[in-house]
Amino acid sequence: MAHDNRYVEKDYKVVGSRVKRPDGVDKVTGKARYGADASAPGGLVGRVLRSPHPHAQIVKINTAKAEKLKGVKAVITSADLPDLTNGDQGMAHILENCMARGRALYDGHAVAAVAAIDEQTAAKALKLIDVKYKKLPHVTDVDEAMKPDAPVLHAKMFTRGVDPAPTKASNISARTQMGYGDVDAGFAEADVIVERTYKTEQTHQGYIEPHACLASVNPDGTAELWVTTQGHFTFRNVCSTLLGLDIAKLKVTSSEIGGGFGGKTHVWAEPVALALSRKANRPVKLVMSREEVFRASGPTSSTSIDVKMGAKKDGTITAAVAEMRYQGGAFPGTWAMLGCMTAFACYDIKNNKTIGWDVVVNRPKVAAYRAPSAPMAAFAVESTIDLVAKEIGKSPIDVRLKNVAREGTQAPYGPTYGPIGIENTLEAVKAHPHMRAKLKKNQGRGIACGFWFNIGGQTCVDLNIGADGTVNLSVGTVDVGGARSSMAMIAAEELGISYEDVKTNIGDTASLGHNDTTEGSRGTFSSGMATIFAARDAIQVLKQRAAKMWGIPVEDVEWQDGEAVAIGKMHDNLPALSLKEIAAKAGRTGGPIAGHNEVVADGAGMGFASHICDVEVDPETGRSQIVRYTVVQDAGKAIHPDYVEGQFQGAAAQGIGWALNEEYIYGDDGRLQNPGFLDYRIPVCSDMPFIDTKILEVPNPNHPYGIRGVGETSIVPPLGAVGNAIANATGVRMTHAPMSPPRVLAALDAQDAG
Amino acid sequence: MSNATLVSTVVNGDAVQFACPTDESLMSALRDRVGLTGVKEGCGTGDCGACSVTLDGQLVCSCLVLGVEAEGKEVETVEGLANGDQLHPLQEKFIEHAALQCGICTPGFLVAAKALLKRNPNPNETEIRYALAGNLCRCTGYDKIVRAVQAAAKDMRNKGRR
């Protein structure tokens, strides 16, 4: 059945309230089962041997001794994962990333794996595997990797997007250019021009639950995978391809997920666990250590970015150019392209140009991290706008408002914006009491804006009504932060029943049609849309059943507030039939009552946010403490405001960690020096103030409830907001994130010396 | 299993025996041998607090304690927080205040917060933040966790409970 996805204003009964999440009790009592919490009869322990070298040829792997160790049931290398990718280069890179094939491309690259009866035996077996390496020169810095004499990782990689195509292989996988207008003419019009170069270091999503899975493959080609993932359907497709399994015969169940933030959208250990299980013909549980998570999962890019911006004295930005270099780890990505798309997306700049360079280095393959690539671009752009404002003597907020993107503005990446909320967030910031609060000594205030697209994608939902009128809703997007509540609220709203009467279940791959990965802030948008449509289908069935019970034409039945009502004078004597009453008779009126929906959820709305940050900088140590922080973001429609606020606060906290502390530190030897939470320091409770939030609701015209994705946008502004606050507190402009105590102290010393 | 040692202990009020290698952490013993997978492993190095339990009333990262060290001691985990079908006020308030998103850190926070409220029934915001600084949460930014602990503390004071 075709459904209309257009926004219709309405009064909500359930949506917008703050109900208790249905999985709350499981999660506060320890009953909820995450990736590492499953076990299977005869289960083995899997462990992975990893390269200690950032770049090396693997001359020989001798597994004989490990195989002979008592209790070892399988040892695998790349020979046990033959290349079935059939010319699909992206898939081939995933395969090689899961298990090195003749060469190790980063410190931590998987080289071999074992399955044994227990942890101790598996650990002992790893030590018995003899790998002969021939070390190769390495490069881990993005700017170094672009130099003509840099060690080249892929002998057949020629930069795409350059005309004429290069004939010499390099570490630059692609060049991207976007924008419109004439930037030279724009700069000629400008009264002031500001140019700066910025650097951001590599950070990790830092989900507290390491990657974990339980794999079981049978000799007949049937298989099961229990795994912590943001996309069990995508994992099924990828693992089926890499292992040569039939898609329908691999059942993937998503466990509870202990955080993902984009980092659980890609496979690493799962194909390895499946290959071990296949060889041993026993279930294999494979859990990464925290060190493995840091060294060998998918952190985000480090970057190096040049921004040039010109403006008139009245604040109009006449031209803006950004050239951005994104490090994608050992395999090519499209991270710089996302930087190009987002860099100037908050503004209406008549002449703008972005150039992106995607670069490979000897680091782990980069994965998505919450609004991937946008925070780094925004750090550079939002810092530069403050510099422009200072040059022309206007307030940073007024310069932003002067150039703000509105409905009808052409986005730098092409399309024209519909109704968007960036101006609303800036006006809300301007009016916020936070902006008028007094600052103390050594404190400064900064603001910054952020943009993220949000996506829709393939979505499938099942809604089944039980004999007592309670409802099972099965969705295929995972619940990372309260989504079960939002989905149940939407179903209850549509059907006109109470929230408590709907139970949301995350369906496994054998029970539901394909669902794209839960990424791009699509969960509530897409599954919410499919839930609305499935509920509307179910209502059609309910009306037919009511008509049958009454013996009247279905055209004479309407659905009002959870009841079938007979319309028209002829039916005045018919009392309304509740959903429960209709459900109780289902067996005699045509069988089970259900609604289903399969959809490509188009029309995801853009997400915009503006943040206010107060920071206090200790001039003795260079340490920055966030003393007050406010997030204003457009949610389109907040289904469950508690969890919308939670997304805003969590995203801001991650951005603050990135701004102040978090960074991958590689030694000259190309090895990661801080693969643990002690030395890779994410914000702790005592680092943070309460984070004020303000939810704005500018409806997305392409969703029945006006929903926009809310999960990612608020990680985009913090780097710029913190940098601007530090500049206002100290007079020092930081251009290198994280703005950690040593960097800030060095900048303060340089200021004193200068 | 080589070097296995039999350990007699009390877990959440019940006498429990398990055999574990002498180099195995209490966290692994609780998860893999006693079946209490509410004890979570986030790091294995004492940096994240997801495996927090109390040992004779003392808050510890169970990944930094050996299983054999539990001999003769009382262990409390998140599974022991509720009293039958009555959730602990901290559990109630965590749900009510949406103090969890993914929930993986929640067991450790609850155990640590209970230990805090036992020694300080009326902590201020700063005291809560420092008492919970050994527990990492990556989802919430800690805002709603602190509010939930404040609400639970108030509730417990009103009911005269510790």
Mark which residues 99-158 of A lie under 8 Å from B by CB: 118-120
d(Cα A15, Cα A13) in Å, to the nearest integer?
6
Instruction: Find the helix or strand (DSSP H, E) in which A493 lies.
Output: helix A483-495
Mark which residues 175-214 of A lie under 8 Å from B by CB: 205-210
Min Cα separation A650/chain B (Å) = 4
Maximum CA pair distance of chain B?
52
Task: Test B143 with A691 for CB contact under 8 angstroms.
Answer: yes
- Angstrom CA distances, B159 to A37, A155, A406, B22, B162, stand at 35, 71, 54, 43, 9
Min Cα separation A24/chain B (Å) = 6
Task: Test A209 with B139 for CB contact under 8 angstroms.
Answer: no
Mark which residues 81-140 of B lie under 8 Å from A by CB: 81-82, 87, 90-91, 94-98, 100-107, 110, 125-126, 128-130, 132-140
- Angstrom CA distances, A222 to A20, A219, A227, A246, A278, stand at 39, 7, 17, 8, 10
Q: Which of A490, A686, A497 is nearest to A581 (CA)?
A: A497
- Read off the pLDDT band of B161 (50, 70, 90): confident
Task: Test B146 with A32 for CB contact under 8 angstroms.
Answer: no
Residues of B in contact with A480 (CB under 8 A): 101-102, 139
Report pLDDT for A702. 96
- Per DSSP, what are the bridge partners of residue A307? A196, A322
**To probe the interface with B, which of A18, A20, A25, A29 has the most B CB atoms within 10 Å?**
A29
d(Cα A627, Cα A386) in Å, to the nearest integer?
21
Q: Which of A34, A687, A691 comes nearest B104 by C-beta?
A: A34
Backbone angles phi, psi at A460, to 5 degrees: -140, 130
Task: Test B136 with A649 for CB contact under 8 angstroms.
Answer: no
Report pLDDT for B2. 63
Report pLDDT for B110. 98
Residues of A in contact with B21 (CB under 8 A): 120
Min Cα separation B29/chain A (Å) = 12
d(Cα B126, Cα B132) in Å, to the nearest integer?
10
Mark which residues 51-90 of B lie under 8 Å from A by CB: 77-79, 81-82, 87, 90
Task: Test A25 with B95 for CB contact under 8 angstroms.
Answer: yes
Determine what percent of chain B is predicted with pLDDT higher than 70: 98
- A10 burial (CB, 10 Å; 0-12 / 13-18 / 19+) is exposed
Q: Which of B79, B104, B125 comes nearest A208 by C-beta?
A: B104
Q: Using alpha carbons only, give the angle A494, A498, A499 rounded to the nearest 5 degrees.
A: 85
Report pLDDT for B160. 85
Q: How many CB atoms lie within 10 A of CB B123?
A: 20
d(Cα A33, Cα A253) in Å, to the nearest integer?
12
- B39 burial (CB, 10 Å; 0-12 / 13-18 / 19+) is buried
Residue B14 confidence (pLDDT) above 70: yes
Cut 0.90: pTM above it: yes
Min Cα separation A678/chain B (Å) = 6
Burial A627-663 (b: 16+ CB within 10 A, else e): bbbbbbbbbbbbbbbbbbbbbbbbbbbbbbbbbbbbb
Determine what percent of chain B is predicted with pLDDT higher than 90: 96
Report pLDDT for B1. 58
Contacts of A554 (CB under 8 A, 6+ apart): A543, A544, A547
The residue of chain A nearest to residue B130, with distances taken between CA atoms, is A686
Taking 70 as the pLDDT cut, the residues of chain A under it are: 1
Report pLDDT for B162. 66
In tens, the pLDDT along A19-35 reads: 999 999 999 999 999 99
Min Cα separation A39/chain B (Å) = 9
Report pLDDT for A1. 63
**To probe the interface with B, which of A484, A654, A684, A691 has the most B CB atoms within 10 Å?**
A684
Q: Which of B31, B138, B144 comes nearest A206 by C-beta?
A: B138
